[in-house]
Amino acid sequence: MNEEYENRLAEIRDALPLYEDARRLEHTMGVYRECVWFSKKFGLSEEDSYTVCAAALLHDITKNLSEADAIAICHRHKITPPSASAVMHQYTGAPFAKEIFGEHIVTEAICSAISCHTTGKIGMSMTDKMLFVADFTEVGRKYRSCRDIREYLHGECEKINRNEKTALSRLLNDTVKRIIGFTVTYLIEKGKKIDPDMILAWNAMVSEN
Ligand SMILES: [Fe+2]
Ligand SMILES: [Fe+2]
């Protein structure tokens, strides 16, 4: 990655402790490392590597905010607050990050990835999908399902050459579907609400392959 991108990532990394406690930072750095892995294994361009790595660093930046602060961000940016508070931070993250770091650092591609990292959405880009997956497969996630899907992703990836773009993209799609499938099943078993964007993301992913 070029020096400009490296400097931007360093600027974000240095500021993160102001917004995240130690536990969240550990998770964030786990997601970041998983995205570095994606960059290498999928042979991403410098721009895509920057997008996915910056999105990883920024994705949970509003998760420690109080509900009042989160609602204030929604008002400032004319966002309708979601009904489930667990997904609130995916909508507030990008506008908040832009306020802090500016639009030259927090590009539209980064905003897109942050804004669907919990639920997915219709028409996810490759970097959207990578952040969505990395948030689930980072090594700090100890749940069995996270471990299983991480092993599947990393194991299958080893069998594919970096130049086989179609096979890599199919593996990424399969992993996204496994995560959505697991999450929806889990939410149903627990009697919890499913965000409509997740259902829309599932339907879109099923028609992609
Ligand atoms: Fe999150
Ligand atoms: Fe996260």
Q: What are the residue ranges spanned by the domains of the chain?
A: 3-208
CA of 117 relative to ligand 1 center, distance in Å: 6
DSSP annotation string for 17-32:
GGT--HHHHHHHHHHH
Q: Which CATH architecture has domain 3-208?
A: Orthogonal Bundle (1.10)
CA of 197 relative to ligand 1 center, distance in Å: 15
What's the pLDDT band for 80 if we cut at 50, 70, 90? Answer: confident
CA of 88 relative to ligand 1 center, distance in Å: 9
pTM: 0.96
pLDDT for the residue numbered 6: 96
User: Which ligand has the nearest atom to the CA of 114?
Assistant: 1
The amino acid at residue 180 is: I
H or E element, residue 189: helix 165-189
Ramachandran sector of residue 107 (left: φ over 0; alpha: ψ -120 to 50; beta: rest): beta
CA of 66 relative to ligand 1 center, distance in Å: 15
How wide is the angle at C-alpha 93 spanned by C-alphas 87 and 97, nearest 5°? 175
Cα–Cα distance for residue pair 75/53, rounded to 1 Å: 28
The amino acid at residue 93 is: G
CA of 157 relative to ligand 1 center, distance in Å: 25
CA of 25 relative to ligand 2 center, distance in Å: 10
Q: What is the pLDDT of residues 38-73, one digit of tens each?
A: 999 999 999 999 999 999 999 999 999 998 999 999
DSSP 68: H
User: Which ligand has the nearest atom to the CA of 63?
Assistant: 1
DSSP annotation string for 81-109:
PPSSGGGHHHHHHHHHHHHHH-TTTS-HH
Cα–Cα distance for residue pair 201/105, rounded to 1 Å: 27
CA of 131 relative to ligand 1 center, distance in Å: 10
Cβ–Cβ under 8 Å, residues 65 and 93:
no
Q: Is the pLDDT of residue 87 over 70?
A: yes
pLDDT for the residue numbered 1: 85
Q: Is the pLDDT of residue 83 over 80?
A: no
Tokens of 126: 């490759």
User: Which ligand has the nearest atom to the CA of 93?
Assistant: 1
DSSP 142: -
What's the pLDDT band for 85 if we cut at 50, 70, 90? Answer: confident
Cβ–Cβ under 8 Å, residues 170 and 209:
yes
User: Which ligand has the nearest atom to the CA of 91?
Assistant: 1
pLDDT for the residue numbered 21: 95
Q: Is the pLDDT of residue 86 over 90?
A: no
CA of 155 relative to ligand 1 center, distance in Å: 25
CA of 90 relative to ligand 2 center, distance in Å: 9
Q: What is the pLDDT of residues 134-190, one digit of tens each?
A: 999 999 999 999 999 999 999 999 999 888 999 999 999 999 999 999 999 999 999
Cα–Cα distance for residue pair 156/177, rounded to 1 Å: 15
**Number of CB atoms found within 10 A of residue 50's CB:** 24
User: Which ligand has the nearest atom to the CA of 32?
Assistant: 2
Mean pLDDT confidence for 111-138: 97
Q: Is the pLDDT of residue 209 over 80?
A: no
What's the chain's average pLDDT? 95
Which contacts qualify for 134-137: CB closer than 8 Å, 24 or more apart? 134/31, 134/34, 134/35, 134/38, 134/52, 134/56, 135/31, 135/59, 136/179, 137/34, 137/175
% of the chain beyond a pLDDT of 90: 89
CA of 137 relative to ligand 1 center, distance in Å: 13
Look at 84 and 195; give whichever has higher pLDDT. Answer: 195
